[in-house]
Amino acid sequence: MSDAADVIVVGAGLAGLVATYELSRAGRRVLVVEQENEANLGGQAHWAQGGLLLVNSPEQRRLCIKDSLELALSDWLGSAGFDRDREDRWTRAWAESYLGFAAGGKRDYLRGLGLTLMPNVGWPERGAGTATGPGNSVPRFHVTWGSGPEVVRVFRDPVLDAAARGLVSFKHRHRVDEIVVEGGAAVGVRGALLAPSDAPRGASSTRREVGTFDLRAQAVVVTSGGIGGNLDLVRENWPTGRLGSFPESILVGVPAHVDGRMLGITARAGGSVVNLDRMWHYPEGLKHHSPTWPRHAVHFLPGPSALWLDPAGRRLPPPLFPGQTSGNALRHLASRGHTHSWLIMTQTMVDKEFDLSGSAENPDITGKNCALLLLRAKKSLMKSVRDFLERGEDIVAHRTLPALVEAMNALTPETPLDLARVEHEAATRDLQVRNDYSKDLQLMSLHNVREYKAERLLHTARPHRLLDPEHGPLYAIRLNLFTRKSLGGVQTTLDSQVVRPDGSVIDGLYAAGEAAGFGGGGMHGYHALEGSFLGGCIFSGRVAGRALDRELS
């Protein structure tokens, strides 16, 4: 096709692909403008584990999980904590609309595209211990068979088919620097042509300019992602009142091209950008042993049994247990100036509970390999896990606790642990394991998790003493703070149309995905329930595409 188009989509990540899919299947001509090369088609979603939040799904019902839209909305609002009049004008409406999709047509929509879900349902973000606080009351995390690349594929393939028919054209290495607004309406984009790059997916690429471009259409959709790869923007928007000073040694959980540039460009075009101080970063990062991008972090997903200590060797206070509430744990550590923490696990725990998030770290699911899937019965046999155990700089193992603490201190000599403190925390925890009941809230939570059969079989070790040599050796895992998602972004109506700070809409300008805070300028509020990032990209991209088709009719 020529450069003539009905719609320009800025960003070829998941939300951009979904919007393009919806527009092209309606017969609209779409121009996809992307600053990276063809290898990065699908954006961050390619790296994802592929978790999708569904409510009252057949998979949940088969596992005797009693879920409902009412319960999901209660959990969501308890997590979101919406508290701003102007900035949250649209966020709750988007949350309610998205949950209606998650409880209604989301599963059938994706299955119709060929997406398959694994039969077990995961249970991250189990909460802060109150019915009104953050967290999932029940398991809702549905993992895609094929993980993030499969979620990308089911939209990429029909979009590429549309490109072969002349309805879609891709403009890679086109960096947008301006949204063209004429007569109060968005009518195109301008920017720089970047030098060709053969950098692999996720790796940094050259920003050398070799020309300019000026493209026009009836509408523009911004789907360019968040700010997690741009530490300058993360620092600028870091909520010091909630999280303390910005941690300069923070790792990065997304490629460098997740730079947030389009947020400022959209604001200069008149759009309202809100809630950028709401961020979904994590305290459970491992430095990648073979990094693709600078400060590359992998999200470690600890099971519920490990002993979690701060840099001084003090146990994190209840309910800050592994897997309970990442946001609260991040706040506890960061507000005290801590950039790392420690988990102590036995070999038995590692075999059951050493989980890593991401498509590359789960080759069995990503590759749809049933033979590899069987290794999940003993995770230390999985190559991705072995690589981190053997090559990761954040992990040490020893037979005795004194030797383990000595190795931990060798990794962090600037914040040495006191052996007596660590021994006390481990010994008092072990005293509570002797009975099926306990005053220890983490052990109470562990017993609660093990009541759910899928977690008991796949993700939790039988309760045992940390210092029992039969379950050794002991592992210490240094967890690092790392960036991930932006929860704020461009403010939009329920049709994904960008609004100005005064609440009026900008004709022809739309936003979706992480660039729009996954809808409305931040539908998650302050905390996410997990499984709702890919789903938010899909939902908001779908909304944008369908709304634009109606508008152009």
User: How many structural domains are present in the chain?
Assistant: 2
User: Which residue do the tokens 């805070």 mark?
Assistant: 517
Closest CA to 511 of 258, 254, 262, 178: 262
Whether residue 438 is found in the same domain as residue 530: no
Domain boundary among 482, 498, 523: 482
User: Which residue do the tokens 């962090």 mark?
Assistant: 412
pLDDT score of 226: 98
Full strand arrangement of the beta sheet holding 117-122: 51-53, 141-144, 117-122
Q: Which two tokens stand for residue 61?
A: 């019902």
Whether residue 494 is found in the same domain as residue 373: no
β-bridge mates for residue 188, sequence order: 180, 216
Give tens-digit pLDDT for 140-153: 999 999 999 999 99
Question: d(Cα 119, Cα 145) in Å, to the nearest integer?
Answer: 9
Task: Say whether 160 sits in a helix, a strand or coil.
Answer: helix
β-bridge mates for residue 10, sequence order: 33, 222
Name the residue range of residue 362's domain.
Answer: 282-482
Query: Would 254 be classed as within a structural domain?
Result: no
β-bridge mates for residue 486, sequence order: 279
CA distances in angstroms from 395 to 337, 389, 400, 411, 421, listed in the order given = 22, 6, 15, 9, 20
Asked whether residue 1 carries a pLDDT value surpassing 50, the answer given is no
Mean pLDDT confidence for 93-107: 98
Domain boundary among 423, 452, 482: 482
Whether residue 73 is found in the same domain as residue 181: yes
Question: d(Cα 419, Cα 80) in Å, to the nearest integer?
Answer: 39
Give tens-digit pLDDT for 250-263: 999 999 999 999 99
Q: What CATH number does the domain containing 187 carry?
A: 3.50.50.60
Closest CA to 151 of 544, 445, 538: 538
Whether residue 334 is found in the same domain as residue 473: yes
Closest CA to 48 of 143, 160, 157: 143
Give tens-digit pLDDT for 354-411: 999 999 999 999 999 999 999 998 999 999 999 999 999 999 999 999 999 999 999 9
Give tens-digit pLDDT for 484-503: 999 999 999 999 999 999 99
Query: Would 496 be classed as within a structural domain?
Result: yes
DSSP 93-131: HHHHHHHHHHHTTHHHHHHHTT--EEEEEE-----SSST
Domain boundary among 433, 461, 482: 482
Give 3-state DSSP helix, strand, coil % of the chain, rounded to 5.
35, 25, 40
N- to C-terminal Cα separation, the chain: 21
Whether residue 333 is found in the same domain as residue 353: yes
Question: d(Cα 181, Cα 55) in Å, to the nearest integer?
Answer: 40
Mean pLDDT confidence for 466-480: 97
Give tens-digit pLDDT for 264-311: 999 999 999 999 999 999 999 999 999 999 999 999 999 999 999 999
Percent of the chain topping pLDDT 70: 99
Query: Would 243 be classed as within a structural domain?
Result: no
| Confidence category of residue 445, pLDDT binned at 50, 70, 90 | very high
What rounded mean pLDDT belongs to the chain?
97
Whether residue 148 is found in the same domain as residue 96: yes
Q: Which two tokens stand for residue 404?
A: 């383990």
pLDDT score of 3: 62
Whether residue 31 is found in the same domain as residue 116: yes
Asked whether residue 23 carries a pLDDT value surpassing 70, the answer given is yes
pLDDT score of 158: 98
